[in-house]
A and B are shown apart, each in its own frame.
Chain A
Amino acid sequence: DGGITQSPKYLFRKEGQNVTLSCEQNLNHDAMYWYRQDPGQGLRLIYYSQIVNDFQKGDIAEGYSVSREKKESFPLTVTSAQKNPTAFYLCASSIESSPATQYFGPGTRLLVL
């Protein structure tokens, strides 16, 4: 079945540690996105990539990094510079054309120990 997978479902981070969230899609979509959702709030865009080996900062990129070495993969690293990382992280993908509906993965919940 085609879709977007995110792993792990839950992730725990210790102080000063970098952690990486995985996002994989087999929909042959060109564009991929990372969003952050805080409790009771909407989604905010962290990074997005419209093509392999290229990505752009979203609205809240500080403390995060990404890579896009393969079309199907867009991992997000939460660095130690992100002082408030506890949130629900959602990955999405879309066909790179206009208009392009974004389809979402199941999400990863990141908690700080």
Chain B
Amino acid sequence: AQKVTQAQTEISVVEKEDVTLDCVYETRDTTYYLFWYKQPPSGELVFLIRRNSFDEQNEISGRYSWNFQKSTSSFNFTITASQVVDSAVYFCALSGSIKAAGNKLTFGGGTRVLVKP
């Protein structure tokens, strides 16, 4: 069975501080995919990134960066120089091979980020 754990339920920072969100996953699949989504107060989930299990390169997109470490089954997300607009709930999710029942996503419990001005 697949499992995603986001141990931090809520993080509060002051604007311009960096914030790192932890994500630890469990899977028996040798090929899998990891995702991060952002859920602002409006409720809609916004796709941020998808990562393949065979590509461990870190990725940076503007103020966002992701650190994928297969050895520790972690896929952490860092927001640099946080802004008030970054306030949201962030979800880490895991998908196995398409052969394993329809591209199902297993979500972590989410981390609420509150950025104070």
Seen from chain A, the residues whose Cβ lies within 8 Å of a Cβ on chain B are: 31, 33, 40-45, 48, 50, 56, 58, 88, 90, 92, 94, 96-107, 109
Contact = CB atoms under 8 A, between A and B. Distances in A.
Interface residues of chain B: helix, strand, loop or mixed (majority): loop
A104 to B, nearest CB: 4
Interface string B102-117: 1111011110000000
Given A42-B108, A43-B91, A102 B103 contact: yes
Contacts of A102: 47, 103, 105
A100 B42 contact: no
Contacts, number: 68
B101 A101 contact: no
Contacts of B4: 42
Contacts of B45: 43, 90, 92, 104
A112 to B, nearest CB: 19
B101 A56 contact: yes
B103 A100 contact: yes
B98 A99 contact: yes
18 contacts: A42-B108, A42-B109, A43-B107, A44-B107, A45-B104, A45-B105, A48-B102, A48-B103, A58-B104, A88-B43, A90-B44, A90-B45, A97-B98, A99-B33, A99-B50, A101-B35, A102-B47, A104-B46
B58 interface: no
B57 interface: no
A88 B50 CA distance: 24
A98 B101 contact: no
Interface in B67-117: 91, 95, 97-99, 101-105, 107-110
B52 interface: yes
Nearest to B34: A99
Contact of A98 (B42, B43, B44, B103): B103
Contact of B42 (A45, A56, A106): A106
B110 A41 contact: yes
Contacts of B42: 106
Given A42-B91, A106-B43, A106-B44, A94 B109 contact: no
